[in-house]
Amino acid sequence: MTAPAVAPRRELPPKPRNILRVALIVTVLVTLTVAACTPAIGGVEIDLASISKHWANGAKKLGQMMQPNFAFLPRTVAPMLETLQMAVVGAAIAAAISVPLTLWAAKPTNANSVTRGVVRTAVNVVRAVPDLVYASVLVAMVGVGVLPGLITLVLFDLGIIVKLVSEAIDSADHGYMEAGRAAGGSQFQINRVTALPQTLPLFANQWLYTLELNVRISAILGFVGAGGIGRILDERRNFYAYGDVSVIILEILVVVVLIEVLSNALRKRLA
């Protein structure tokens, strides 16, 4: 037996580099950033000095918030429940509507490019509008309360679910669909019997994710009058009751983290 030969040292082939392109990208990014904060040429004015100027005031407010007024807690329970109810009901309604819309928006489940295009365009438009804008407009339309908040959440959720799930369906392999077509099935039959159970985990994942987002969003929808804990948060802030404000913030924090932990645990079991 001979001693194992020492493997010859391999020269790594030179890694292709493009220093010029990297330099160009960095230059453009830096230039744009600097220009964007230069008031002389129309950029925003960022006055860092105001932090130190108002420091005393800020520290005072912070100090007040450091003493949460837990006596206020009972009064927050009902609005917090309202927020959670909005989140759950909104997510449930969105989940129900999302199924047909998503299947219409994905190519394998809807061969008709016209209806597919209509649904996709509509969803993209819905997604383009920020949630607080929906809430403000809807409050003006249907009045202050839970309803405008609920509609806002449903629209927001639909935008997320339909886009993400339909894209996932687009990129997956669908041999079972060819089998359904070969057996003489209509697109509806194929979607209902095979595509739906096949894509249900994708849906469930996004449904839970939107529930999580809903709790976070519905906490601030009250700022524009759309119900929930946000309304009382806005009210206490206007009264400069920072002890109450900090209780509400802590409460939102706890609830959001709890929902997130729960939803993560459920999503892990789905995978």
Q: Toward other proteins, which CB reaches closer, 53 or 192?
A: 192
Query: Rounded CA gap, 147 and 77, in Å?
Result: 19
- Length of the chain as a residue count: 271
Q: Toward other proteins, which CB reaches closer, 11 or 173?
A: 173
Residue 251 contacts residue 263 (beta carbons within 8 Å): no
Q: Toward other proteins, which CB reaches closer, 100 or 117?
A: 100
Task: Please give the residues from 199 up to 238 whose contact with other proteins meets the rule CB under 8 A.
Answer: 200-201
The runs of H, that is alpha helices, within 37-130 are 49-53, 55-65, 73-105, 113-128
> How near is the Cβ of 163 to other proteins at its closest, in Å?
22
DSSP 108-151: TT---HHHHHHHHHHHHHHHHS-HHHHHHHHHHHH-SSHHHHHH
> How near is the Cβ of 270 to other proteins at its closest, in Å?
11
Binding track, positions 160-179, relative to other proteins; x by CB under 8 A: ---------------xx-xx
Q: CA triplet 50, 52, 55: central angle to 5 degrees? A: 105
> How near is the Cβ of 271 to other proteins at its closest, in Å?
13
> How near is the Cβ of 158 to other proteins at its closest, in Å?
22
Q: Toward other proteins, which CB reaches closer, 8 or 184?
A: 184
Task: Please give the residues from 14 up to 43 whose contact with other proteins meets the rule CB under 8 A.
Answer: none
Pair of tokens at residue 124: 């993209």
Binding track, positions 177-206, relative to other proteins; x by CB under 8 A: -xxxxxxxxx-xxx-xxxx-xx-xx-----
Binding track, positions 116-155, relative to other proteins; x by CB under 8 A: ----------------------------------------
Total binding residues toward other proteins, as defined by CB under 8 A: 22
- CA dist list (Å): 43 to 51, 65, 72: 20, 34, 43
Q: Toward other proteins, which CB reaches closer, 85 or 189?
A: 189
Among residues 52, 75, 32, 90, the alpha carbon closest in space to that of 216 is found at 90
Q: Toward other proteins, which CB reaches closer, 185 or 243?
A: 185
> How near is the Cβ of 135 to other proteins at its closest, in Å?
35
Query: Rounded CA gap, 207 and 192, in Å?
Result: 19
Percent of residues in the chain assigned helix, strand, coil, to nearest 5: 80, 0, 20
> How near is the Cβ of 104 to other proteins at its closest, in Å?
16
> How near is the Cβ of 201 to other proteins at its closest, in Å?
7
- By three-state DSSP, how is residue 6 classified? coil
Q: Please give the residue ranges that form the binding site for other proteins (CB under 8 A).
A: 175-176, 178-186, 188-190, 192-195, 197-198, 200-201
